[in-house]
């Protein structure tokens, strides 16, 4: 039986397992591998982001929207809803492989909302 996401170590396992898949993905990999120079630092930052999002007990310092808009601009505005769909499918697949429970379901919901928000804001930024 799988357990729920309960600790920072659980969040790190989710984030690191997920990004192993992303880095190998032929569509998503180039966006991430071309931008992220220090994966250890990036995974720690993303763990803090998701820990903060799920448990509301840590404080994430950063601007994911600004980072995603920059990546889109640096890639000639080529990020599409397909990229966010692939990202979301890999995220949910990874959660389902590792965890089950309320926090796991919340991680899926938050990712769906985040993907929608980021894509809309990226699209909006193209017109400015």
Backbone angles phi, psi at 8, to 5 degrees: -60, -40
Spatial distance between the Cα atoms of 89 and 25, rounded to a whole number of angstroms: 12
pLDDT tens digits, one per residue of 27-73: 999 989 988 999 999 999 999 999 999 998 878 888 888 988 998 89
The answer to whether residues 19 and 38 touch, using CB atoms and an 8 Å cutoff, is: no
| Domain count of the fold of the chain | 1
Domain membership flag for residue 2: no
35: tokens are 């931008």
How confident is the model at residue 112, as a pLDDT? Answer: 96
Domain membership flag for residue 118: yes
pLDDT tens digits, one per residue of 105-122: 999 999 999 999 999 999
How confident is the model at residue 82, as a pLDDT? Answer: 93
Distances 80 to 10, 46, 50, 71, 125 between C-alpha atoms, Å: 30, 22, 23, 12, 13
Domain membership flag for residue 3: no
Query: What CATH number should be reported for the domain holding residue 16?
Result: 1.10.490.10
Domain membership flag for residue 104: yes
């Amino acid at each position: 039986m799988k357990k729920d996401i309960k600790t920072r170590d659980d969040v790190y396992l989710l984030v690191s397992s997920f990004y192993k898949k992303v880095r190998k993905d032929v569509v998503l990999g180039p966006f991430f591998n071309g931008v992220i120079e220090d994966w250890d630092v990036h995974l720690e930052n993303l763990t803090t982001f998701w820990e903060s999002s799920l448990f509301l007990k840590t404080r994430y310092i950063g601007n994911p929207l600004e980072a995603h808009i920059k990546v889109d601009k640096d890639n000639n505005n080529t990020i599409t809803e397909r990229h966010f769909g692939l990202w979301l499918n890999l995220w949910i697949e990874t959660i389902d492989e590792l965890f089950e429970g309320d926090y796991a379901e919340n991680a899926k919901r938050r990712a769906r909302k985040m993907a929608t928000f980021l894509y809309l804001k990226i699209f909006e930024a193209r017109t400015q």
